[in-house]
Structure 1
Amino acid sequence: MSDQTSSPTLTRPAFWRRGLAGLLDFITVFFVGGYAIGSLTGETTNNGFNLNGLPALVLLVLIVAYFYFGWKVWGGTIWQRILGARPVP
């Protein structure tokens, strides 16, 4: 008798999809989050935003939180879902 307890294997999408999704996620969160924080703190310029000190730290925390929740809680970030770059069981 053989005990076959197999865990589901994950099929990894192509590297270029995962890499492009990560890059686009970072760019999206950086610009959307940066502009939103800049608007709330009055640190917008004619060319976008210029964050210094605490607002810059808040943006960094926002970026880390986005990737953490995207990977661990929501099952994929926005661009992973768009590009089909999430691991599929």
Structure 2
Amino acid sequence: MRFLSVALVVLVMPFSTLAETKTYTLEGMTCQSCVKSVKAQVCKIPGLDTCEVELNKVTLSGKTLDEKLIESAITKAGYSILPKKAHH
């Protein structure tokens, strides 16, 4: 039983340090130059573990994601975040 308890602790510990992941839909990105502009601003935000930028989509992960910094970086690149659609 003691071995089982230790095994459970080892298995559960990594999940407590998982990063949060958020995806943002952007308006107006039409080409790879747009992607490069957004990457240049967004991917330099401190604390990011991953930063993936595609046409009209940014996916970020990190232990803490600062919404204001993210929005500011996207705005500085010349784009805006589209509001999430409500699901009914």
Tell me if TM exceeds 0.5.
Answer: no
Please, what TM-score do these two structures have when normalized by structure 2?
0.32
User: Larger % of strand: which?
Assistant: 2
Please, what TM-score do these two structures have when normalized by structure 1?
0.31
User: Larger % of helix: which?
Assistant: 1
Higher relative contact order (CA 8 A, sep 6+): 1
